Amino acid sequence: MADIAAESLKPIEIEDSGNFLRRIAREPHGVVLVVAPWNYPYMTAINTVAPALIAGNAVVLKHATQTLLVGERMVRAFTEAGVPADIFQNLFLDHETTSAMIAGGHLDFVNFTGSVGGGRAMERAAAGTVTPVATELGGKDPGYVRADADLDAAVDTLIDGAMFNSGQCCCGIERIYVHESLFDGFVEKAVAIVSAYKLGDPLDPETTLGPMANVRFAEEVRAQISEALADGATALIETMAADDGGAYLSPANSHQRDPRHAGDARRKFRARCRDHGRER
C-alpha cells in the first residue's frame, strides 16, 4: 500500500490546455477516528489506520475494552518507526464519550468495524455534523452447497469458515444450505471434523478450538443453540470435557430438514458470535 500510495493519490489531470486546467485532487480528511473490534484486534485496526495515515490524515484509535493494550502497542510501534506522536494517538473511551466526540464535530471522518447496533450508534452520533461515517458491520452469512459441488472441498471450506477463530468472525458462516442429494454425506463429514476438535487453553499446542472472548458471548450462543433445538433441530455434537458453562463452549452442529425452504437446511450454531465488535 505504501509503495503505490504516491501514484494512487496523485491528482488526476483531466485537462491542461490554454483554456482550462481541470484536475481531481485527493485531499486528507483531517482527523480520522478508527473504532476497532476485539475479534481481530490488530488486523482490523491496521486495515484502516495505515491507509488513513498514508493519505495524510491524523488518526485517533479507540479500541474495544477487551483489547485495550493493542491500541497502545500499535501507537508505540508507529512512533518508534518515525510517525510523529501527535499524528497517531490511542485513546481509552467509553461509549458515551465516543459518541460525544463525534456529535461535537471534533472529527473529520469516522471508521467503525463492529456490530449493527454499534454502527447505528455511530450514525446517530454523527447526525447533523456532516461527518462521514464508514462502517463494516456483522452479517448473517450463509453457505450453499449445490448438487454438483465437490463434497469434501465444500465441507472443509464451510466448516473452517464457521469455526475459525472459535466462530468469532464477522464474515463467519452461520448456516449452511445443502442440496438434498449431498445432505447426508455433508452432515456426516461435518460432524467428523467438528467432533475431532479439541476445546481448551489457547496456549496448549494440542488445542484446536479456544474459548469465546467473553462469557456473555458464549451465553448468547448457548441461547441460539437452545432456540434451534426447540424449533426442531437435531444436535449432533457431544459436549466436550473442557466446556465449563462459561467462555469455554463446545462447538455445536445441528441440522434440520425444513420443507418450507427450497432444499434442505443445515443449521449450525457457534458459526459466529453475534456480539462481534459490540464494544465500540
Catalytically annotated residue among 13, 27, 72, 136: 136
Catalytically annotated residue among 170, 174, 273, 279: 170
Q: Write a three-state SS string for 221-262.
A: HHHHHHHHHHCCCEECCCCCCCCCCCCCCCCEEEEECCCCCC
Does 136 qualify as catalytic in the annotation?
A: yes
Amino acid letter, 38: W
Tell me the CA distances in angstroms from 177 to 35, 146, 181, 193, one per residue in order. Answer: 34, 9, 12, 18
Tell me 157's DSSP state: H
Task: Give the separation between CA 168 and CA 171, rounded to whole angstroms.
Answer: 9
Task: Name residue, grid cell 509503495.
Answer: 3
Does 273 qualify as catalytic in the annotation?
A: no
**Phi–psi pair at 182, nearest 5 degrees:** -110, 0
Q: Catalytic residue positions?
A: 136, 170
